[in-house]
Amino acid sequence: MSYQRAGGRAADALRPVRLTRHYTRHAEGSVLVEFGDTKVLCTASVEERVPPHKKGSGEGWVTAEYGMLPRSTHTRSDREAARGKQSGRTQEIQRLIGRSMRTVFDLSALGERTIQLDCDVLQADGGTRTAAITGAYVAACDAVTWLLEQGRITTSPLKDAVAAVSVGIVEGTPLLDLEYVEDSACDTDMNVVMTGRGGFVEVQGTAEGAAFTRAEMDALLALADKGIRELLAAQRAALGL
Amino acid sequence: MSYQRAGGRAADALRPVRLTRHYTRHAEGSVLVEFGDTKVLCTASVEERVPPHKKGSGEGWVTAEYGMLPRSTHTRSDREAARGKQSGRTQEIQRLIGRSMRTVFDLSALGERTIQLDCDVLQADGGTRTAAITGAYVAACDAVTWLLEQGRITTSPLKDAVAAVSVGIVEGTPLLDLEYVEDSACDTDMNVVMTGRGGFVEVQGTAEGAAFTRAEMDALLALADKGIRELLAAQRAALGL
Amino acid sequence: MSYQRAGGRAADALRPVRLTRHYTRHAEGSVLVEFGDTKVLCTASVEERVPPHKKGSGEGWVTAEYGMLPRSTHTRSDREAARGKQSGRTQEIQRLIGRSMRTVFDLSALGERTIQLDCDVLQADGGTRTAAITGAYVAACDAVTWLLEQGRITTSPLKDAVAAVSVGIVEGTPLLDLEYVEDSACDTDMNVVMTGRGGFVEVQGTAEGAAFTRAEMDALLALADKGIRELLAAQRAALGL
Amino acid sequence: MSYQRAGGRAADALRPVRLTRHYTRHAEGSVLVEFGDTKVLCTASVEERVPPHKKGSGEGWVTAEYGMLPRSTHTRSDREAARGKQSGRTQEIQRLIGRSMRTVFDLSALGERTIQLDCDVLQADGGTRTAAITGAYVAACDAVTWLLEQGRITTSPLKDAVAAVSVGIVEGTPLLDLEYVEDSACDTDMNVVMTGRGGFVEVQGTAEGAAFTRAEMDALLALADKGIRELLAAQRAALGL
Amino acid sequence: MSYQRAGGRAADALRPVRLTRHYTRHAEGSVLVEFGDTKVLCTASVEERVPPHKKGSGEGWVTAEYGMLPRSTHTRSDREAARGKQSGRTQEIQRLIGRSMRTVFDLSALGERTIQLDCDVLQADGGTRTAAITGAYVAACDAVTWLLEQGRITTSPLKDAVAAVSVGIVEGTPLLDLEYVEDSACDTDMNVVMTGRGGFVEVQGTAEGAAFTRAEMDALLALADKGIRELLAAQRAALGL
Amino acid sequence: MSYQRAGGRAADALRPVRLTRHYTRHAEGSVLVEFGDTKVLCTASVEERVPPHKKGSGEGWVTAEYGMLPRSTHTRSDREAARGKQSGRTQEIQRLIGRSMRTVFDLSALGERTIQLDCDVLQADGGTRTAAITGAYVAACDAVTWLLEQGRITTSPLKDAVAAVSVGIVEGTPLLDLEYVEDSACDTDMNVVMTGRGGFVEVQGTAEGAAFTRAEMDALLALADKGIRELLAAQRAALGL
């Protein structure tokens, strides 16, 4: 018999997804993304400069930073600014978000400017990185719209949409969109990032305990595919597309 | 003729104040405080340990950390965790919040445990440190209630309430509760922290341009006194007292 | 027509693999692993202590650090010790190596001690992280043998073998064990870690340019499976098993 | 009955103040300031460059750094250079000194150069920050004189004088210029910075234990006013004005 | 014809040496050492604890830290506390001072406590490290006397005296006790540390430009020997021995 | 009776010296130097830029960095990149290597470019810094040859050769080229750097326990002179000169 999820959620069901645009005022894009009790504030900031490796290239840059508020978690975590460095986990996640976003951008069309995505977790309940990617895409869309409205660019540098979800196997049952208690208990955990056209951007599967089989991976990829289609629809709805 | 504030606000009026308790789920106290467009999330975390200088003392500790989300501001600020250190301003503010909170706590009655206050600015429009103090007090109250409910303490260690407001002189007019454009333009800027009984906890006045006179200081202190009384009332209302 | 590899290497062929045990004298395990021109020195050090989260648990710990000599690369990279921090990439890789190793260890059987794996790249030509995992396993075996010989443990804590390889798609051709020029040119890059019994430990696929399809992923996983079987055989041969 | 001070000092008396100019050789201004047993070496260095935010502005900059020798204090403090960072207290103090100095400078008249004030505590007995401000002003005067003599500027950028003193309430008695034992025992502690014309530059009052009343603040401000007038006279005497 | 020194100083003459004991109040030993215009404040602090590698050994520890005030030099140097790290030069010098002091201490006789020597350069004119060693020894003597007076130890742990001087070759002339302009111009620079009994503790000779010959080294060592005898006499005189 | 060395080595004998050129592929010079069981990989990297203090000077720069792999030593040392800073010992050694190399370079003839020497200890058994200097010179020669072959310079900037050896007194016996057990046991330890023409570049003698006499120093310098002549010959042989 399979694992019973909290609230009677089906194994292949996402948690309620909410994408609230214009959540804060100053950023060119600002989206609160909620996957159930996971809440991440994603802002997109336009900066009229590029990092050194892009200077003079005619191309722009898209990059991301990630952080968790100290008490977004069940027990308080140290504040990274106070400790004086970002953890390996933080760096891994922000690199993942940045790469995922760049996949859907035409950096030439962006011009020599940077879209800086900041993903800050207000409340964590599993899946913060996948929520961050899903929300950051919407914030990036708003920043692109702002650039178009400002006349700084004339065509959108966005080539596709991108969203992400976690999947995993808990007590033998493949589950979509793990919440914290499931994530802690799972044997295998996979984060999948896909584009609007259904291509894979990132697949990161990790055996937490025992190794996983090819059949298990296939089941997880199928679940992820289903979940990401729904997330892409939620993004389109939020953007009024 | 005196300075005209945005939205026709009177010189001695606070911006709309909102104190939303239980804003996030995990913390023992979690309050979103809003002074107009300034929004600060204040969480209170109970930790059953104390810093080295309190070990074995029988006394507890109350301390605070402060941060701004990178795009809480008009233009994006560097993420302190990525830069690897907290700015002098950040340290100054979190020391102020911690001192202010400790003034209303009986550390013996708290017992050897720590209440850690985290004040994270989601959106900044002036007065983030005074909003943080005002909200952190409410979060601390909720954490104390939790400690009482858990039976970890039997009497409240809170001796008084505490709230804070900024005042300043813009174009010769003393103003209460400066918003960002006023803060940038002001000649003198003062942050005042007071207790429920009307005592001063902190008075920090700074001449931004020209030095200020004793008469100006008196006018500012009177404004602060008025504003803090209103903030204390808002705290009581939020706490249902 | 498919991509032609340097030296006429077949698309599904590993580079020559060499595992030289006892490469340096002091470590309990010391292996130079070579995947063609990629050379990584993997040492395993036994330390009779565990990190804080394992203290008193009766369990041991297995962890890894990774570094590149500044001129292991085509152009010199900054020395991380001189810059004062490890890059995100370095942390990501050393976390991957550590997780992969822990998958094959029974930490209870290890007892409260640590096996510290240090993987230092002497010469880089692509695939340094997969070479590091493949070599670190052999170094860990030698450290386990040393522990058994010393009588510190009586049964081996090793439950399985583990090896890793990179695969990728260059100009439409799926390739096994990418060397540097292929890695730089590839559209999709995947690092796969598998156990001796054929289970997956990690699958990390990244679209460098365009997203990749499910069919491409399947082709890459098949290549990785083939390569890892050969690497596991090379490990057994090096260990005289 | 009121608090009895060491050596029969009156409640409203400063400690002996000494301002020794040209204390060291290399700096454009170098002043040893002594408030009783508190000794701070203040040097003013002229640098023909400005920080980035002033580049091209036609304006100069005045800034300060503060440090304590490790054994300037009763028990040895860690060396901040060895710990790798300045404490929050240090940063707070050096920001205060810098702001205070800038209040009396016309940065346009200074031209695009920096006056860097270094305030290093050789011996601490309370009031180091107020001694530092009082001494730094004299060092700054000497640096301005040097600039005039060198012909680099033709009119002095100094608009006024500035000095500072601490005041506090110990066992109910308001005291001027707290020494260490008084500072440790005081209920309320206030640092006041004023100009030669009697304007306030900074007022920083802190309740150490109980909150303070408006009447107490008024008493403290009156004491500070008296003390600062005497310090301004001592500065003029030291400068031969 | 040989190099002419400032002020007609003979090639084999020290600058005027002054050792002022009890220069500051709080430290167990506090000595201002002056070699001409080089002025270093050396304090000795007794701490009733030892670093980890001496815990439980029954032995004490003697160590040193070194710093230069930012404007002790001709042009201002960055403050190491603000930069967040000590330079290689600083670390090299403080390691030298610590080693030199330990040579004359019987660490068993000191008992499990630390003598921490802080050498802070108030004014630099060449030879700061040798002045620091010479002064630190006198400060250490005063700390030992304090320990004896306090009854914490009953016999002195000091086995010998120690002093240091620089020597160098400028325009072909071997010179004793280099001042800054000589140090900048010299071809070879040697720092020599010797004990009261005439043994060598450290010899650090460096060719700044051309390599130096054995004959030059012999001439320098003879000069150093002469100078250190005089410094040892000055130490004895300062200590009233 | 004198100290008996491991393997019957004579007191004035070097360990077997091996200099393996082209040890790794990417660097312009890459030499594995072995002094017995001490193995140091020295790479020379040519970079077409100079540090700020050489910009526009027409001169080049030669500098060095040093590191030990964590398990190059008998017991594992912390990885400096993970700790976030280089130890004082590391900085001292890399400064020594850099100075030694610059002594034999005509920086004008090098042109405005940098030769960066990286000396990484793969296995440590005493004398790592002297082996590093001896090997780095050979790597530098190869980098110079590469520059000549590339036509970037037309005459060699190398003015002389340079090599280094350690000497020390163990149980009263002066020994050449200390290995680890000797280094740990020695009373006096001296590192000597000399040029091909027999001049001294650096002499760094340290009393580890008792001070040393002039006669002991003379004996050590004679031993060092003998050893360095042999090392210079080994360098010439390795370079085919």
What ipTM describes this predicted complex?
0.94
CB contact under 8 A, F79 and C65: yes
DSSP secondary structure of E58-100? S--EEEEEEEE-TTSSSSPPPPHHHHTS--HHHHHHHHHHHHH
**How much is the CA Rg of chain F, to the nearest whole Å?**
18
Average pLDDT over residues E175-183: 96
- Within 8 A by CB and 6+ apart from D137, the residues are D101, D104, D161, D162, D163, D235
| Helix (H) or strand (E) segment spanning residue A83 | helix A80-83
CB contact under 8 A, D207 and B202: yes
Beta-carbon contacts below 8 Å between E and F: 91
D74 Ramachandran zone, left/alpha/beta (phi>0; psi -120 to 50): alpha
pLDDT reported for residue A187? 87
CB contact under 8 A, D211 and B99: no
Residues in B closer than 8 angstroms to A77, CB to CB, are none
- Determine the residue among C89, C169, C200 to mutate to test chain A binding: the one whose Cβ has the most chain A Cβ atoms within 10 Å: C200
Nearest to D115 by CA among D185, D51, D175: D51
- How far is the C-alpha of C103 from the C-alpha of E151, rounded, in Å? 59
Local confidence band at F2 (pLDDT 50, 70, 90 cut-offs) = confident
For residues C100 and C193, is the Cβ–Cβ distance under 8 A? yes
CB contact under 8 A, C92 and A88: yes
CB contact under 8 A, A45 and B116: no
Buried b (16+ CB within 10 A) or exposed e, B41-57: bbbbbbeeebeeebeee
Interface of C with A in 6-65 (CB under 8 A): none
E211 touches chain D (CB under 8 A): no
Q: Enumerate the known binding-site residues of E for phosphate.
A: 89, 127-129
Chain E CA closest to residue F190: E203
pLDDT reported for residue F46? 98
Of E85, E92, E202, the CB nearest to F95: E92
Of F92, F95, F207, the CB nearest to E200: F207
* D27/chain E closest Cα distance in angstroms: 6
Q: Say if residue D8 is exposed, middle or buried (CB neighbours under 10 Å; 0-12, 13-18, 19+).
A: exposed
Beta-carbon contacts below 8 Å between B and D: 87
Predicted confidence (pLDDT) per residue in E48-59, tens digit: 999 999 999 999
Of C69, C79, C124, the CB nearest to F41: C69
pLDDT reported for residue F210? 84
C89 assigned binding-site residue: yes
Cα distances (angstroms) measured from residue A82 to each of A78, A218, B81, B90: 8, 42, 7, 10
Of F95, F200, F205, the CB nearest to E200: F205
Of C24, C86, C116, the CB nearest to F72: C24
pLDDT reported for residue F1? 58
Checking DSSP bridges between strand A173-176 and strand A162-170, what pairing results, if any? antiparallel
Q: Enumerate the known binding-site residues of B.
A: 89, 127-129
Q: Compute the mean pLDDT over every residue in chain B, rounded to the nearest whole number.
A: 96
**Coil, helix or strand at residue B86:** coil
pLDDT reported for residue F90? 96
In this complex, which chains have at least 3 CB pairs below 8 Å with chain F?
A: C, E
CB contact under 8 A, A201 and C207: yes
Predicted confidence (pLDDT) per residue in C78-97, tens digit: 999 999 889 999 999 999 99
Is pLDDT above 80 for C1? no
Local confidence band at B196 (pLDDT 50, 70, 90 cut-offs) = very high
- Determine the residue among A45, A47, A65, A71 to mutate to test chain B binding: the one whose Cβ has the most chain B Cβ atoms within 10 Å: A71
Residues of chain D with pLDDT under 70: 1
What is residue F11's DSSP assignment? T
Give E116's strand partners.
Answer: E45, E63
- How far is the C-alpha of F139 from the C-alpha of F20, rounded, in Å? 10
CB contact under 8 A, C99 and A206: yes
pLDDT reported for residue B1? 58
Share of chain B above pLDDT 90, in %: 95
Chain A CA closest to residue C194: A211
pTM of the predicted structure, to 2 decimals: 0.92
Is pLDDT above 90 for F209? no
Strands in chain D per DSSP E: 17-21, 29-35, 38-47, 61-68, 114-123, 162-170, 173-176, 188-195, 200-207
CB contact under 8 A, E212 and F200: yes
**Coil, helix or strand at residue E169:** strand
CB contact under 8 A, B118 and A86: no
CA angle A100, A104, A105 (to 5 degrees): 110
* Domain locations in chain F as residue ranges: 17-239
Give just the sign of the alpha carbon dihedral F64, F70, F72, F77.
Answer: positive
Interface of D with E in 60-119 (CB under 8 A): 65, 67, 69-76, 79-82, 84-86, 90, 116, 118
E84 or C65: which leads in pLDDT: C65
The pair of three-digit structure tokens given for residue C173, joined into one six-digit string:
């051709």
Of D45, D73, D81, the CB nearest to E80: D81
In this complex, which chains have at least 3 CB pairs below 8 Å with chain B?
A: A, D
- How far is the C-alpha of C201 from the C-alpha of C168, rounded, in Å? 18
pLDDT reported for residue A77? 96
Q: Enumerate the known binding-site residues of B for phosphate.
A: 89, 127-129
D9 assigned binding-site residue: no
Cα distances (angstroms) measured from residue A183 to each of A67, A169, A223: 19, 9, 16
Reduce the secondary structure of chain C to three states and give it as a string: CCCCCHHHCCCCCCCCEEEEECCCCCCCEEEEEEECCEEEEEEEEEECCCCHHHCCCCCCEEEEEEEECHHHCCCCCCCHHHHCCCCHHHHHHHHHHHHHHHHCECHHHHCCCEEEEEEEEEECCCCHHHHHHHHHHHHHHHHHHHHHHCCCCCCCCECCCEEEEEEEEECCEEEECCCHHHHHHCCEEEEEEEECCCCEEEEEEEECCCCECHHHHHHHHHHHHHHHHHHHHHHHHHCCC
CB contact under 8 A, A206 and C206: no
For residues F97 and F136, is the Cβ–Cβ distance under 8 A? yes
* D214/chain B closest Cα distance in angstroms: 8
What is residue D104's DSSP assignment? T
Cα distances (angstroms) measured from residue E31 to each of B101, D207, E23, E163: 43, 38, 5, 14
**How much is the CA Rg of chain D, to the nearest whole Å?**
18
pLDDT reported for residue A1? 58
For residues C122 and C69, is the Cβ–Cβ distance under 8 A? yes
Chain F CA closest to residue E104: F210
Rounded (10°) CA dihedral A122, A125, A126, A130: -40
Of D199, D206, D213, the CB nearest to B199: D213
Strands in E27-181 per DSSP E: 29-35, 38-47, 61-68, 114-123, 162-170, 173-176
Chain F CA closest to residue E65: F88
Quote the CATH superfamily of domain A17-239.
GHMP Kinase, N-terminal domain (3.30.230.70)
- Within 8 A by CB and 6+ apart from E188, the residues are E168, E169, E205, E206, E207, E208, E212, E216, E220
CB contact under 8 A, F85 and E88: no
- Write down how long chain C is: 241
D89 assigned binding-site residue: yes
pLDDT reported for residue D65? 98
Chain F CA closest to residue C77: F45
Average pLDDT over residues A170-185: 94
* E114/chain F closest Cα distance in angstroms: 19
Cα distances (angstroms) measured from residue E38 to each of B132, C130, C157, E129: 50, 58, 63, 10
**How much is the CA Rg of chain B, to the nearest whole Å?**
18
Checking DSSP bridges between strand B61-68 and strand B114-123, what pairing results, if any? parallel
Residues in F closer than 8 angstroms to C47, CB to CB, are 76
Predicted confidence (pLDDT) per residue in D92-125, tens digit: 999 999 999 999 999 999 999 999 999 999 999 9
CB contact under 8 A, D211 and B205: no
pLDDT reported for residue E1? 58
Residue type, A170: V
Is pLDDT above 80 for A104? yes
pLDDT reported for residue E210? 84
Q: Say if residue E74 is exposed, middle or buried (CB neighbours under 10 Å; 0-12, 13-18, 19+).
A: middle
Of A89, A200, A211, the CB nearest to C207: A200
Long-range contacts of F87-93 (CB under 8 A, 24+ apart): F88/E88, F88/E91, F88/E92, F88/E94, F88/E95, F89/E95, F90/C81, F90/F66, F91/E88, F91/E91, F91/E92, F92/E88, F92/E91, F92/E92, F92/E95, F93/F66, F93/F128, F93/F129, F93/F132
